[in-house]
């Protein structure tokens, strides 16, 4: 039997990168997938990949900074599939790294609304459908926040806020059957792959070497390395795990 057979999963930020590959892996494992992102044409490509994998798919382009868009999406998912069993809060949008003193409050607001607030809102809106059964919320942190990497003041703050919220919800919602865990991934995204193709050989090798600065000495792959762990956290195989932050990064954090 497929690990997510018959379960309904919401995954956010599925137009590209990690969200796309988690949606595909969930589809391959038998889940009915409800996906959202801001860019409709890219989102439809992900939806088609999931359909080709045999999944029932609901997709909708929304602005995750908008409460009304989020609520409408959740309502549509429940109308389509009847319930929600898995929530994977992957989406966030950030700018390239820049010093804390150059961060504006407008930028902070955008990161928090699209990341922390979207996670907060989706958790509350999905709660009535997740409770009183075996269900799973997978939130997304980052080694950037855990290690406090330079240039990421807003992003790191957002990700650490998500980890704090996840621990509280794990305690409060555990008796109701809801597990809440945080996945902290490190992998080459589609954007990075496209960028690598445009670089000269010397620069490309340097970037790959930087991305391989971990115990396994290679870059992570979203589909091969990250999405199977998301499946594990979504499935009943992780039924005794909640309130945890799992670094899926090839061992980066043990070198911090």
Helix, strand, coil in percent for the chain, rounding step 5: 55, 15, 30
Number of Cβ within a 10 Å radius of residue 135 = 24
Residue 216 phi/psi, 5° resolution?
A: -90, -5
Element (H, E) at 209: helix 201-211
- At 184, give phi and psi (nearest 5°): -115, 95
Contact 28, 230 (CB under 8 A): no
Average pLDDT, the chain: 93
| pLDDT tens digits, 169-215 | 999 999 999 999 999 998 877 766 766 677 678 867 766 777 788 99
Q: Are 25 and 255 spatial neighbours (Cβ–Cβ below 8 Å)?
A: no
Q: What is the pLDDT of residue 202?
A: 80
Rounded (10°) CA dihedral 192, 198, 202, 208: 20
Separation between Cα atoms, residue 102 and residue 47, nearest integer Å: 38
Task: Output the pTM of the full model.
Answer: 0.94
Q: How far apart are CA 5 and CA 229, in angstroms?
A: 16
- The percent of residues in the chain predicted with pLDDT above 70, rounded, is 94
Does residue 155 carry a catalytic annotation?
yes
Cβ 178 vs Cβ 4: under 8 Å = no
Burial 221-254 (b: 16+ CB within 10 A, else e): ebeebbbebbbbbbbeebeeebbebbbbbbebbe
Q: Which two tokens stand for residue 179?
A: 């597990």
Work out the burial of residue 80: count CB atoms within 10 Å of its CB; fewer than 13 is exposed, 13-18 middle, 19 or more buried: middle
Burial of 66 by CB count in 10 Å (0-12 exposed, 13-18 middle, 19+ buried)? middle
Per-residue pLDDT at 208? 74
Catalytic residue among 21, 107, 155, 206: 155
Q: Distance between CA atoms of 46 and 128, rounded to whole angstroms?
A: 27
For 19-49, the pLDDT digits (tens) are 999 999 999 999 999 999 999 999 999 999 9
Q: What is the pLDDT of residue 206?
A: 64
User: Which candidate, 54, 62, 53, 52, places its Cα nearest to that of 11?
Assistant: 62
CB 33 within 8 A of CB 55: yes
């Amino acid at each position: 039997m497929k690990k997510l057979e018959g379960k309904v999963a919401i995954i956010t930020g599925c137009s590209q990168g990690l969200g796309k590959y988690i949606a595909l892996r969930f589809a391959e494992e038998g889940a009915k997938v409800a996906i959202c992102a801001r860019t409709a044409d890219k989102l439809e490509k992900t939806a088609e990949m999931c359909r080709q994998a045999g999944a029932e798919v609901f997709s909708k382009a929304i602005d995750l900074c908008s409460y009304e868009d989020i609520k409408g999406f959740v309502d549509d998912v429940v109308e389509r599939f009847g319930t929600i069993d898995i929530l994977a809060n992957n989406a966030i949008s950030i700018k390239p790294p820049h010093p804390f003193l150059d961060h504006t409050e407008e930028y902070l607001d955008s990161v928090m609304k699209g990341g922390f607030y979207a996670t907060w809102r989706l958790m509350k809106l999905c709660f009535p459908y997740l409770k009183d059964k075996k269900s799973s919320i997978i939130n997304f942190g980052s080694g950037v926040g855990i290690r406090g990497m330079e240039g990421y003041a807003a992003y790191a703050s957002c990700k650490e806020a998500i980890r704090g919220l996840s621990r509280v919800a794990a305690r409060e919602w555990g008796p109701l059957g809801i597990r809440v865990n945080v996945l902290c991934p490190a992998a080459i995204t589609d954007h990075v792959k496209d960028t690598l193709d445009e670089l000269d050989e010397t620069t490309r090798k340097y970037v790959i070497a930087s991305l391989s600065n971990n115990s396994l000495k290679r870059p992570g792959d979203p589909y091969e390395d990250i999405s199977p762990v998301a499946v594990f956290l979504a499935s009943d195989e992780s039924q005794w795990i909640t309130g945890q932050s799992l670094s899926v990064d090839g061992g980066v954090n043990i070198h911090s």
